[in-house]
Chains A and B, each alone.
Chain A
Amino acid sequence: MNQLLENTLTIDGQVVPFSAGQTIMDAALAAGIYIPHLCHKPELKPHGSCKLCTVDVDGRSMSACTFPASQGMQVANNTPALTEVRKTLVQMLFVEGNHLCPTCDKTGDCTLQALGYHLGMLDGHFPPFYPRREVDASHPDLILDRDRCIMCGLCVRASQQIDGKNVFALSGRGAQNHVIVNSPSGKLGDSDLNKDDLAAHICPVGAILPKNHGHEVPIGRRTFDLHTVAESDIATFNLHKTEHHDD
């Protein structure tokens, strides 16, 4: 058997090639197959924390973003049961923070919200926690609103792995888990975060937001008002599309 045939797995029955060292997520994204994910970006090392990418691998639940692809593996991704599990995860993320979308400038551009749409989430199901978390508005160009942080660690990894800085870290366990800032005062304004850093842009939710750019794009014309999360994450859509994906 040649090398190409050896390096294939199936996702929902579709044969997908992969190369050595790739995860299931890498192989899926390369093949244009969308596996829901929140804490994963291809240019950063996987974190495996949100579990949105949970797939069924030969009968066991695995995180697609961390699990290595291997020959002959049978992966189930788009199943009603996995959609239910993923929806429950998104509901838990909503109630654990303060996600009042009408008050949030990330609305329409938010991956958590878009996943709620994708998975058909209508309500939070669980009683909301309404936590009281610290807002840090000390930076001239950016705001850190921990109310909406989902502890995905993308800002932490972007700062370390791409920006060559070390601005953010996750601290505390369980319900105490929160983002901390590496600066003498613990404030963002005292850190060396710059508005052009990847860490300043990568937040999938409205926890790190630019100042002075609110409502530049009207609600209803934002990314996920026009595209599904699946379209945008496999980056195949035409950015100038103005019709809603279901129109």
Chain B
Amino acid sequence: MMTNKVRVATTSLAGCFGCHMSFLDMDERLVGLLEHVEFDRSPLTDIKHCQPCDIGLVEGGLCNAENVHVLREFRNNCKILIAVGACAINGGVPAMRNHYEVQECLQEAYLNGVGVDNPMIPSDPELPLLLSKVHPLHEVVRVDYYLPGCPPSGDAFYAILSDLLAGREPSLSKTMLHYD
């Protein structure tokens, strides 16, 4: 089914879904947006794989092999890729584990941590393997635009999408620029 709408895909990698929640903070402006936009792969649609898209919004950094796989799928399918939020841009809160070895993190979480029942490091083959460090997106693929913030505000999402839909080069006003 072909339409003239701009196709947008979104995903959350090593993030907390806070950026997606903030995306929904566009509130009633989403209604206007949906006249021009339709969603492809996204937690909002539950579509599992990307078709060719115009814009990809990626929340979260890369903490495991599956994150890298999904990011590559987005890069291969999206004309414009936007790194959304602190974690996508510099690793953010998950990157706090970069101070430790993966083994130390697993031991703390699953063996020695406070209140651990039935201590055992999960080893199901279905689980994606952890990377030795958390990385931002631009270390693995080319990123077209950055939308900083933890999370970026609904206004910031609206600004960047409005600019792109109008064919303008996105420019975030200083009011909307924050890293926290």
Q: What's the least CB distance linking A245 to chain B, in Å?
A: 7
Q: How far is the CA of A98 from the CA of B86 in the complex (A)?
A: 13
Secondary structure at the A interface, as helix, strand, loop or mixed, is: loop
| Contact segment of A77-85, A101-109, A154-162 | A101-109
The answer to whether A245 and B150 touch across the interface, beta carbons within 8 angstroms, is: no
Contacts of A196 in B (CB 8 A): none
Q: Is the interface of B mostly helix, strand, loop or mixed?
A: mixed
Cβ contact within 8 Å between B174 and A246 = yes
Q: Are A120 and B177 in contact (CB under 8 A)?
A: yes
**Shortest Cβ gap from A229 to chain B (Å):** 11
Give CA–CA (A35, B96) in the complex, Å.
Answer: 34
Contact (A113, B173) CB under 8 Å given A100-B86, A100-B91, A130-B91: no
Most buried by B among A99, A103, A120, A122: A122
Min CB distance B131 to A, Å, is 12
Per-position binary interface string of chain B over residues 82-95, scored 1 when its CB falls under 8 Å from any chain A CB and 0 otherwise:
01001001111101
Question: Does A213 sit within 8 A of B, measured CB to CB?
Answer: no
Contact B93 A103 (CB under 8 A): yes
Task: Answer whether residue A94 sits at the interface, using C-beta atoms and an 8 A cutoff.
Answer: yes
**Interface size range of chain A in the complex:** 20 to 34
Partner of A108, one of B90, B91, B99, B180: B180
CB atoms of A107 and B180 under 8 A apart: yes
Is A117 engaged at the interface, CB distance under 8 Å to the other chain? Answer: yes
For A225, list chain B residues within 8 Å (CB). Answer: 178
Cα of A245 to Cα of B89 in the assembled complex, Å:
25
**What string of 1s and 0s marks CB contacts (under 8 Å) between A146-173 and chain B?**
0000000000000000000000000000
Residue B146 at the chain A interface, CB threshold 8 Å: yes
Pair B92/A102 contact, Cβ less than 8 Å? yes
Among B139, B147, B172, B180, point to the contact of A101 (Cβ < 8 A).
Answer: B180
**Nearest chain B CB to A237 CB, angstrom units:** 15
Tell me, rounded to whole Å, the shortest Cβ–Cβ distance linking A130 to chain B.
4
| Cα of A122 to Cα of B148 in the assembled complex, Å | 6
Q: Does A216 contact B (CB under 8 A)?
A: no
- Complex contact A100–B133 (CB within 8 A): no
B60 contacts A by Cβ under 8 Å:
no
A107 to B122, CA, bound (A): 36
A107 touches B90 (CB 8 A): no
The answer on a CB contact under 8 Å between A113 and B89 is no
A102 and B95 contact, Cβ closer than 8 Å, known pairs A120-B177, A123-B146: no
Return the 7 tightest CB-CB contacts between A and B, nearest first.
A102-B150, A101-B179, A122-B146, A246-B175, A123-B146, A130-B98, A107-B180
Q: State the A residues within 8 Å of B (CB).
A: 94-95, 98-104, 107-108, 113, 116-117, 120, 122-125, 127-128, 130, 132, 219, 225, 228, 244-247
- Name 8 interchain pairs, CB-CB below 8 A, sorted by A: A100-B95, A103-B96, A117-B174, A120-B177, A122-B89, A122-B146, A123-B148, A246-B174
